[in-house]
């Protein structure tokens, strides 16, 4: 039997009170339908592609498989919609545009949000070195120990994606 749930969340710095009739409602749908977030998208539905990637309390999270009941009360959630603006894009967003890294752009949410979480966690641990292009490619493929997931681009723009992440990371660690 479904269990209703109300959660207080902070989505991109804004308090949101969300209510669902079933506490197993996926975070992705709550973000899109109740919080008007368009960055995270439904891709595969099984946490394999990354289109739904968000940061929950700084942790890279696949929102398509995360039940709302697994999200802590008061959690801070960051999405692609809230990391920059058209006037002041985040360094990763700016780099993706400059490098033309998003051919169809379906994977851009995954690539930016996953990389953002990874780079910010490196910085928090005191590692301010710009990751090498090989480290970035290994992170995206899931080959690094700190790679929780892999990230897929259907168009094959991986070379430009890696270059964009490298460029954005260079600016982030300054």
**Chain CA centroid to CA 18, Å:** 20
91-172, superfamily in CATH?
A: [2Fe-2S]-binding domain (1.10.150.120)
Q: Is 58 helix (H, G, I), strand (E, B) or coil?
A: coil
pLDDT tens per residue, the chain (174 residues)?
899 999 999 999 999 999 999 999 999 999 999 999 999 999 999 999 999 999 999 999 999 999 999 999 999 999 999 999 999 999 999 999 999 998 888 899 999 999 999 999 999 999 999 999 999 999 999 999 999 899 988 888 999 999 999 999 999 998
Q: What is the DSSP letter of 131?
A: P
Q: Where are the domains of the chain?
A: 5-82, 91-172
Distance between CA atoms of residues 67 and 46, nearest Å: 13
* Cβ(164)–Cβ(115) below 8 Å: no
d(CA 45, CA 66): 10
Q: Hey, how many other C-beta atoms are within 10 angstroms of the C-beta on 100?
A: 11
DSSP letters, 1-55, are ----EEEEEEETTEEEEEEESSTT-BHHHHHHHHS---SS--SSSSSSS-TTEEE
Which DSSP letter does residue 87 get? S
Residue 41, φ and ψ in degrees, nearest 5: -130, 160
Q: Is the domain defined by 5-82 classed in CATH 3.10.20.30?
A: yes
| The pLDDT of residue 172 | 97
């Amino acid at each position: 039997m479904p269990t209703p749930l109300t959660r207080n969340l902070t989505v991109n710095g804004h308090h949101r009170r969300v209510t669902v009739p079933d506490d197993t409602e996926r975070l992705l749908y709550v973000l899109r339908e109740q919080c008007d977030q368009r960055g995270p998208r439904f891709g595969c539905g099984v946490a394999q592609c990354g289109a739904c990637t968000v940061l929950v309390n700084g942790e890279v999270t696949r929102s398509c498989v995360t039940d709302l009941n697994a999200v802590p009360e008061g959690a801070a959630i960051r999405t692609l919609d809230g990391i920059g603006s058209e006037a002041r894009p985040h360094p990763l967003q700016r780099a993706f545009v400059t490098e033309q890294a998003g051919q169809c752009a379906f994977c851009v949410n995954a690539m930016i949000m996953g990389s953002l979480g990874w780079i910010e966690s490196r910085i928090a641990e005191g590692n301010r070195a710009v990751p090498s292009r090989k480290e970035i490619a290994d992170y995206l493929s899931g080959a690094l120990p700190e790679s929780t997931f892999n990230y897929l681009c259907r168009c094959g723009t991986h070379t430009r994606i890696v270059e964009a992440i490298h460029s954005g990371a260079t600016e982030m660690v300054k």
